[in-house]
Amino acid sequence: MAATKEYDYLIVGSGLYGATFAYFARKVGKKCLVIDKRDHSGGNIFCRDEEGINVHAYGAHIFHTNDTGIWNFVNRFATFNRYTNSPVALSKGKLYNLPFNMNTFHQLWGVVTPEEAKQKIEEQTAPYAGKEPANLEEQALHLVGPDVYNALIREYTEKQWGKSARELPAFIIRRLPLRFTYDNNYFTDKYQGIPAGGYNKITEGLLEGIEVRLQQDFLADRDYFKSLADTVVYTGQLDAYFDFREGQLEYRSLRFEHKRLQTDNFQGNAVVNYSDAAVPYTRIIEHKHFEFGTQPHTVITYEYPETWTPGKECYYPVNDDTNMAIFRIYDQLAQAEEGVLFGGRLAEYRYYDMHQVIGSAMTAAGRIFGKDILDRH
């Protein structure tokens, strides 16, 4: 008879997927160990307290969802404020409202009515109608025309992806929402906000009563870690788990430069995008505005896009045909791997919003422990 292992589940990664799965496993009486190679739990939603300002250590995170069940679930762990994401973009010395709405169109063309804006967009896109877009530039011109594209899309997108828009696939912007109302709310979801006191409240609530070990690298000693539990829940890089044997999946990375300033208000908005190619960063985040802070100081973060290389954080999967072909091979290997559940944005090689990764973990928990566990907890 095989010896009983110390834990039912070893969960690799303490971000939203791992923490959510661990929460439900514990609720059905499973003994879990959560490990993370970082020196803190919470994954990319981790916040660092800077004298009362919750700094989003890995970039701006705004919770939004249309899923009432997920909204009610996260509200068990934190109280959300009424923050509405309304970024602005600086292009050639002029500020524009985002997303593209009547304010943006007025700033570009001086139009006042929706009919005037629609007519202008029709004029701008007419030369590109009926042509199948071969790349991102052609897709954008087809959707919005040259004025919006050149002011707010081209240079920003090229910085973000590190390639010419003519080299990028059209699917990256399959659609560009155009809103013919004076509404600067970036999201249209039913629920939106920031947890008062920061996102740590959510992950700490999910992991309450569960053993967590930090600065533990699963891949560096996987035999030992696998010996601890009956099942592994792996949320790390999928290709790294299989030692890159089928090739390396491509990502874009980010670098953050945080600064504390002795002023109460640096830019007047939580998020300001910088569209111009001459500016090396894509945006500046001023964290206090997420929670309507009144502190005498502020903390800002410059966000620089970078080419991903091993050792850097993986932020955006490059889901083009080449990478997706590699991913499908790894996905088949993952499905055949006994005793391991793969989940989360890295293990599934997809971009997830926060509510989506929680939903993915809840789906896995419901499949394993029974769907009624989701209703009871």
Active site residues: 175, 179, 252, 283, 303, 351, 353
Chain mean position to CA 266 = 25
Chain mean position to CA 60 = 9
Give the H/E segment covering residue 203: helix 200-206
CB 128 within 8 A of CB 138: yes
CB 144 within 8 A of CB 178: yes
CB 84 within 8 A of CB 183: no
Helix axes 16-27, 354-369, angle to 10 degrees: 30
CB 207 within 8 A of CB 41: yes
The amino acid that residue 307 corresponds to is T
Return phi, psi of residue 308, to 5°.
Answer: -80, 135
- Alpha carbons 97 and 211: distance in angstroms, whole number: 45
Chain mean position to CA 274 = 19
Reference 250, options 347, 322, 345, 167; nearest CA is: 322
Measured between alpha carbons, how far is residue 226 from residues 91, 231, 275 in Å? Answer: 51, 8, 47
- Alpha carbons 274 and 156: distance in angstroms, whole number: 7
Reference 121, options 96, 94, 101; nearest CA is: 101
- Residue 153 carries which DSSP code? I
3-state secondary structure of 48: strand
- Alpha carbons 46 and 269: distance in angstroms, whole number: 21
Sorted by sequence, the CB contacts under 8 Å of residue 19 that are 6+ apart come out as 34, 41, 42, 43, 203, 206, 207
Sorted by sequence, the CB contacts under 8 Å of residue 302 that are 6+ apart come out as 256, 257, 259, 281, 284
